[in-house]
Amino acid sequence: MIISRIVKSDIVYYQLHAEQAVTATYIDEEGSGIFEEVLTLNTLERIVDDFKSFPGYNLILDCQNLKSCQNNLKKKIKDFKDIAKSVVLTNAQKEIVEKLDLAIFSNPNNVEDGERFLCFYVSDKDDFAITNTTLFDDAFKESLIRYSTSDGEDPIYHESSSVYLSNYINIKKMISLDKNLFIYAIYKLAIKINEHWFKELNIKKPTLICQNLNSSYVASILSGFLKLDVLILDKLGPINKLYSTLDNKIKENESYLVVSDVVCLGTEMKIAKNLITFLGGHYLGNVSIIRVETLLSETKKFNDTECVFTITRENNPTNFQILTALNLVPNE
Amino acid sequence: MNGPIPLIENGITFSPFYFYTYFIKRLADFYSGDSKDNDLQFALTFGDEADSLISKYYLDPIALPLVLSISAQLANYQRKPIKLLLSNNAGTNRLLEFLFRSDFFYLVGDNRNPNLPLGKKIFDFNSSYIGDFNNHLQRAEHKVRCYSLKDESVLAYKINHRSEEEQRDFLVEHFTFKVKEHFADLLFENQNTTELTNDFIEIFSELITNGVLHSQSEAFALMFSDKFKTKFSISDNGIGLYNSLTKKSDSSYYTKFEIFNALSQTFKLRVSANIKNSVLSIFETLYYSMLKDRQGLFDLLCNIVIHCKGYFRLHTEYAQIIVSSRMLNDLDILYRIRQQIVEVHNLLLFGQISEQDFSIQIVRLAEIGKTHFLKLANSIFDRFNEDTRFSSIRLYEVKFRGVHIEVEIPNSASHDNI
């Protein structure tokens, strides 16, 4: 399975560390998830196989977060060169370029930044220009538009927060039909979590809390990437509320990270936060794939939260609106 | 000698040096003596029960893979486990505890519990001696490991259809994960090894791959880390370097046994033909690996000695070579030639030069490499004549089958006094 492939006009993009994390999580027995920093054979073999369906495309191999690579992988790079029109490595540590034996190429268009190459062309000649750096965001937006559904003209009633929504993002459909992109988004979330809570992840080993089917899907993959435990707190709402057995699930002085698929007004997240704090647990923050910023940054600082995609007034591809009866124009 | 052969004697550290110099000799004496028809017996420790309170038994943990390797060979030879006599008293208790906690007894016994190392039936011992320990804390990672393709039949199946080089890459990847699982905690112990972690893991997984792939049998390994050094020892029962070399084929820039033949003309040491073969095959192997288009043993050696400032000891059959920073100057020259050789290979791979240009350049480089290599080898032989104690090669009268490698790397990267 390849999660990070993004195709845009004549460019094919792969994030090598994301693929390495998949190798390290699902193929290696113990698994080191996103903490794996060395590129290995299996990962490149999988990508070469996948890339065979794109002959003549320009290939971007993003090496962000990788520190080194296994020896003797140069033949795989040769395979890429044979299939692709041209190959470029981005965000590659110099060690990787050396270990892949690519130092024989020197291209005037290479961009260096200290110990790494921002881009390194695997060729001596001039090559294609990488202008578009928002490949993932664009792909995710497209997917969001594709899986947003509205109920005709009628706004949708949102039970847990008592508001109306103009349209609704069908995460279940996105998970099933855009599986790879969605897992890639979870990978991105894992990287962000690791950056945000680096110290806590190493010392306290927080537990991931999820509350429904979608978020437990996200949490289960996150737990593989981050090597954390999962706790499913079912029936926290919006429809069923059943708090009778919570105190033997949440442990005192343990740290918890609340996982959601979409945070809209944050009602469910707040219920979880209150319960954790009430039962003596330590609430670290909440993470989600999509977050709707309903408040201005002057009003609230989002310090305890991470997400992959934010819906704001400027960045609202599906024209998502939260409505109440006060500003709703009734159908007549 | 009659009676059991003692492994560890009072007051003498059982180190790899002791193993090669005295222990193997003792085994040879046993098989050449009168008692050879009796079954071989080992005693873990040697000494009177009465002295047990003042006895001190020292074991350098990295000698364990060597003991396992030779014992596996002998157990195989006599077709039943070797009797190992234990005793548990004030003197030996700590030693027994260390061995127990390192999983030694599971590995050599007949353990079938899959959660613990599978027993290889090397020793036959009375397990009722094992116990009554003081519960000393021991690093969970200080364990003896056994790697074998036989134990992982799925793995053997997966690599079946691949070419030898692909098999190697595949296994290196597999063992990278294993090594990380087994030893990474040892390496994250201090700041300095943390920086070198990826190097260590890579080196060890390459060594294990060499061991299991060549030998087609078990490779025993152990990593031990103390305040100053991280040591790693791996030992296999394979066919050895000379026999591996006979399987290689000639190419435009390499003729089989060229260093071997060149050196054997200038080889002046008065030793038996067997010993000479072993020594020369070590040099031949390193030279062959220096010319290859892939990273191999030679690069590994340079990585250990030049980059990690460590010690590299390789033993096969009758001879051992010790590579350390003492050889740094010669090694540095060879390393630079090696880099040029790799570059020429890469230029060919990526189609930057023609086959013909490649041939001309590589033959020229191989010639330079050969000259320097012979110079290094001859100077090592000369120094052996002068002073055997500080020599870079050690020669033994008794054959110990397989390839046995010990690596010592200082924990501090800037530590130059090793």
A137 within a domain of the structure (yes/no): no
Which of B165, B180, B350, B358 to substitute to test the interface with A, most A CBs within 10 Å? Answer: B350
Residue A331 lies in a domain: no
Residue ranges of domains in chain B: 1-127, 145-236, 240-409
User: Residue length, chain A?
Assistant: 332
Q: Which of A158-162, A163-167, B170-174 has the lowest mean pLDDT?
A: A158-162
Q: Which of B197 and B388 is assigned the larger pLDDT?
A: B197
Which chain A positions have a beta carbon within 8 Å of B201's beta carbon?
38
A153 to chain B, any CB pair closer than 8 A? The answer is no
Say whether both A281 and A189 belong to one domain.
yes
Q: Spell out which residues of chain A touch residue B200, defining contact as CB-CB under 8 Å.
A: none
End-to-end CA distance of chain B, in Å? Answer: 38
A67 touches chain B (CB under 8 A): yes
What is the pTM (predicted TM-score) of this model? 0.83
Q: Identify which of A41, A67, A122 has the shortest CB distance to residue B169.
A: A41
Q: How far apart are CA B298 and CA B288, in angstroms?
A: 9
Nearest Cα residue in chain A from B205: A70
Q: B-side interface with A, Cβ within 8 Å?
A: 165, 168-170, 172-173, 176-177, 180-181, 198, 201-202, 206, 294-295, 299, 342-343, 346-347, 349-350, 352
Instruction: For residues B301 and B313, give the distance between their C-alpha atoms in angstroms, rounded to a whole number.
Output: 10
Same domain, yes or no: A12 and A153? no
According to the model, what pLDDT value does residue B49 have?
63
Mutation target among B158, B164, B177 for the A interface, most CBs of A within 10 A: B177
Does a structural domain hold residue A129?
no
User: Which pLDDT does position A218 carry in this prediction?
Assistant: 94
B220's enclosing H/E stretch is: strand B219-225
Select from A70, A81, A102 the Cβ nearest to the Cβ of B173. A70
**Which residues are bridge partners to B312 per DSSP?**
B323, B407
Chain A residues with CB under 8 Å of B294 CB are 71-72
- Do A167 and A301 lie in a common domain? yes
The whole-number pLDDT of residue B319 equals 87
Q: Give a yes or no: residue A142 inside a domain.
A: no
Give the domain CATH number at A217.
3.40.50.2020
Q: How many CB pairs under 8 A join A and B?
A: 61
Burial state string for B5-39 with b = 16 or more CB within 10 A and e = fewer than 16: bbbbbbeeebbbebbbeebbeebeebeeeeeeeee
Residue range(s) defining the domain that contains residue A206: 148-323
Q: Based on the fold, state whether residues A296 and A255 are members of the same structural domain.
A: yes
Distance CA A310, CA B353 (A): 51
Reduced to 3 states (helix: H, G, I; strand: E, B; else coil), residue A301 is coil
Q: In this complex, is the C-beta atom of A38 within 8 Å of any C-beta atom belonging to chain B?
A: yes
> Which domain-ending residue is among A121, A136, A163?
A121
Q: CA of B92, closest CA in chain A: separation in Å?
A: 36
- Distance (Å, rounded) from C-alpha A284 to C-alpha A288? 14
The pLDDT assigned to B311 comes to 85
- What is residue B415's predicted lDDT score, i.e. its pLDDT? 47
Query: Two tokens at B200?
Result: 């260590």
Are A81 and A219 members of one domain? no
Per DSSP, helices labelled H in chain A are: 16-22, 41-51, 74-83, 94-99, 135-146, 171-177, 179-196, 198-203, 213-226, 267-278
Percent of chain B whose predicted confidence (pLDDT) is above 90: 0
A169 near A318, Cβ under 8 Å? yes
State the Cα–Cα distance between residues A149 and A158, nearest whole angstrom.
Answer: 14
pLDDT tens digit sequence for A30-58: 678 888 888 888 889 999 999 999 998 98
A117 plus A180 within the same structural domain: no
Among chain A residues, the shortest Cα distance to B206 is held by: A71
Residue A257 has what pLDDT? 93
B118 min Cα distance to partner chain A (Å): 18
| ipTM greater than cut 0.90 | no
- Establish if A136 belongs to a structural domain: no
**Rounded mean pLDDT, B141-169:** 77
Do residue A164 and residue A230 come from a single domain?
yes
Q: What is the pLDDT of residues A130-147, one digit of tens each?
A: 766 788 999 999 999 999
Residue A170 has phi, psi (to 5 degrees) of: -85, 85
Range with the lowest mean pLDDT among A93-97, B30-34, B151-155, B369-373? B151-155
Distance from CA of B322 to the nearest CA of A (A): 24
Q: Which of B172, B347, B350 sits opposite A70 (nearest CB)?
A: B172
Per-residue model confidence as pLDDT tens digits over A259-280? 998 888 888 888 888 888 988 8
The residues facing B231 across adjacent strands are B224, B408
DSSP codes of every residue in A122-171: SSSS---------HHHHHHHHHHHHTEE-BTTBPEEETTTTEEES-EE-H
CA distance B14 to chain A (A): 34
Would you say residue A135 lies in a domain? Answer: no
pLDDT digits (tens, 9 = 90+) for B193-242: 666 677 778 878 888 888 888 766 788 888 887 778 888 888 888 888 88
Q: Are residues A160 and A305 in the same domain?
A: yes
User: Do A36 and A114 reside in the same domain of the chain?
Assistant: yes
Domain assignment of residue A192, yes or no: yes
Locate the chain A residue with the closest alpha carbon to B353.
A104
Cα angle for residues A144, A181, A193 (degrees, 5° grid): 95
Query: Residue A207: pLDDT band by 50, 70, 90 thresholds?
Result: very high
The reply to whether A200 falls in a domain is: yes
Same structural domain, A214 and A305? yes
The average pLDDT across A143-167 equals 81
Chain B residue numbers with beta carbons less than 8 Å from the beta carbon of A70 are 169, 172-173, 176, 202
Q: Which residues of A touch B177 (CB under 8 A)?
A: 24, 28-30, 32
Using one digit for the tens of pLDDT, what is the confidence trace for B86-98?
A: 888 777 888 888 8
Confidence of residue B326 (pLDDT cuts 50, 70, 90): confident
| Mean pLDDT, all residues of chain A | 86
Question: Using a CB-CB distance cutoff of 8 angstroms, which residues of chain A are in contact with residue B170?
Answer: 41
- Partner residue opposite B295 with nearest CB, options A24, A72, A124: A72
Whether residues A228 and A96 share a domain: the answer is: no
With cut-offs at 50, 70 and 90, classify the pLDDT of residue B418: very low
Contact A68 B299 (CB under 8 A): no
Q: Of A74, A102, A121, at which residue does a domain stop?
A: A121
Is the CB of residue B116 less than 8 Å from the CB of residue B103? yes
Residue of A101, A115, A123, A124 to mutate, testing the B interface (most B Cβ within 10 Å of its Cβ): A101
CA distance to partner chain A, nearest, from residue B312 (Å): 20
Total of domains in chain A: 2
